């Protein structure tokens, strides 16, 4: 069932985590976790995943809506909200700006028409005929143009809510070291908010501005292939103080919170980063559990002719290099990073037919097998203690436990911030 995100007594969004993924197992787990805790699942698609040309998933916005709805139909008490992330010209930034923005308008319109409720407008990426860095005013004017397009597609009683702001790496992730990630300054946040509010006013979008609920800023968290920058509350203190003094009634949206420890996620929520985005961290966990199950199967069936899952995915990635080749230039490290990077570029490949077949073959091989708990302890020690007693260990149980565990810190962090 589709729903609306809840608000607090001041009409600000209550803390919520946003699952940004197109993998059916991740979405299913997010819906299950939300249903079991009585919450609403916020599921988001990015401009690169889903657009009018299919994105890398092959889905348009209406397809993604149906995809999530079909998964939810099998989960009692499932409630969800769909969101669009980084909606703007990014997929077409190699084109002149006006042409790229025309595509972006069509994309945003299609998301809203398909029933996506939370819309992140991001026009920060320079296009082919732009200077290297765009001014706040240009970014805001382009975002307002996209908002106007979205409003034309909105149905009565189903008006979208908006998130603005752009101080995050471009979709696809960062390259290089992330140890020196600085939090957005309060002055920069104020300037971004002011420029957007003025752009909305100039475009006659005052009624839509009342539905701007969040501002994307950088709290000082990020990850690259092999490192994670952890949240340090003292660095974001001026930012949080500024928001608490603001009269706009917005909250902060934090991107790239993947791999943050439990305490850091809770601290982010307490500091008014009430929308926590997570994506690659969940498919990273999915890859971990699938590879571990593959290792269990190899112990149980040493004479099997089934192609090992890592070898199957390696073959696919070497045949279709588009999603990693520009990031991994060094052959020596590329072999590791293709599979084990925090940026998790392997996530682009799980929906390939050969990858789907390889996972299905693994599941089939274990369908009638007795998986000893001791092998779970060996290869998946983090979920061993969560195994249900007096129940046969299966492929599905292991995947479910792993993904639910990966989301538990987000559930707890958001619950800790409600009523704050």
* Residues 162-212 pLDDT 10s: 999 987 544 444 455 556 789 999 999 999 999 999 999 999 999 999 999
Contact 342, 226 (CB under 8 A): yes
pLDDT digits (tens, 9 = 90+) for 275-318: 999 999 999 999 999 999 999 999 999 999 999 999 999 999 99
Q: What is the mean pLDDT of the chain?
A: 95
Per CATH, the number for 16-278 is 3.20.20.70
pLDDT at position 400 is 98
Cα–Cα dist 195/172, whole Å: 26
Q: For residue 262, give both structure tokens.
A: 């439990």
Residues in the chain where the model's pLDDT stays below 70: 1, 168-179, 419-420
Best CA proximity match to 79, nearest among 126, 30, 114: 30
| Domain spans in the chain, listed from the N-terminal domain onward | 16-278, 284-403
pLDDT at position 389 is 87
- Which residues in 120-149 are b (16+ Cβ under 10 Å) and which e? bbbbbbbbeeeeeebebebbbbbbbbbbbb
pLDDT at position 419 is 60
Cα–Cα dist 398/410, whole Å: 20
pLDDT at position 418 is 77
Q: Which CATH superfamily is domain 284-403 in?
A: putative tagatose 6-phosphate kinase domain like (1.10.400.20)
Long-range CB pairs of 385-393, under 8 A, 24+ apart, other chains included: none
Contact 37, 411 (CB under 8 A): yes
């Amino acid at each position: 069932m589709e729903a609306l995100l809840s608000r607090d007594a001041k009409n600000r969004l209550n803390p919520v985590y946003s699952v940004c993924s197109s993998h059916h197992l991740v979405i299913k787990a997010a819906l299950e976790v939300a249903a079991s805790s009585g919450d609403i699942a916020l599921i988001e698609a990015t401009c690169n995943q889903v657009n009018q040309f299919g994105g890398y998933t092959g889905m348009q916005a209406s397809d993604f809506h149906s995809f999530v709805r079909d998964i939810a139909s099998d989960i009692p008490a499932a409630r969800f909200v769909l969101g669009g992330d980084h909606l703007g010209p990014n997929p077409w930034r190699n084109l002149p700006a006006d042409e790229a923005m025309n595509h972006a308008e069509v994309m945003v319109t299609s998301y809203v028409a398909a029933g996506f409720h939370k819309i992140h407008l991001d026009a920060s990426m320079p296009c082919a005929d732009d200077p290297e860095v765009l001014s706040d005013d240009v970014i805001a004017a382009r975002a307002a143009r996209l908002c106007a397009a979205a409003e034309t597609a909105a149905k009565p009683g189903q008006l979208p809510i908006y998130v603005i702001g752009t101080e995050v790496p471009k979709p696809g992730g960062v390259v290089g070291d992330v140890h020196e990630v600085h939090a957005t300054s309060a002055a920069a946040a104020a300037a971004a908010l002011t420029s957007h509010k003025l752009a909305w006013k100039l475009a006659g979008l005052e009624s839509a501005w009342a539905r701007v609920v969040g501002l994307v800023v950088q709290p000082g968290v990020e990850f690259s292939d092999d490192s994670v920058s952890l949240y340090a509350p003292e660095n974001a203190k001026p930012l949080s103080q500024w928001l608490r003094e603001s009269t706009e009634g917005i909250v902060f949206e934090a991107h790239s919170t993947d791999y943050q420890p439990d305490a850091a996620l809770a601290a982010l929520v307490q500091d008014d980063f009430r929308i926590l985005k997570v994506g690659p961290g969940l498919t990273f966990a999915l890859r971990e559990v699938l590879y571990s199950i593959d290792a269990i199967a190899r112990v149980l069936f040493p004479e099997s002719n089934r192609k090992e899952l890592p070898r199957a995915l390696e073959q696919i990635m070497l045949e279709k290099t588009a999603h990693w080749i520009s990031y991994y230039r060094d052959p020596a490290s590329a072999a590791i990073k293709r599979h084990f990077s925090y940026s998790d570029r392997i996530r682009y490949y799980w929906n390939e037919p050969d990858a789907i077949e390889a996972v299905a073959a693994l599941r089939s091989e274990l369908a009638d097998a007795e998986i000893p708990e001791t092998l779970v302890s060996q290869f998946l020690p983090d979920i061993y203690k969560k195994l249900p007693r007096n129940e046969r260990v299966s492929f599905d149980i292991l995947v479910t436990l792993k993904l639910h565990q990966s989301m538990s810190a987000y559930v707890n962090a958001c619950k800790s911030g409600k009523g704050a």
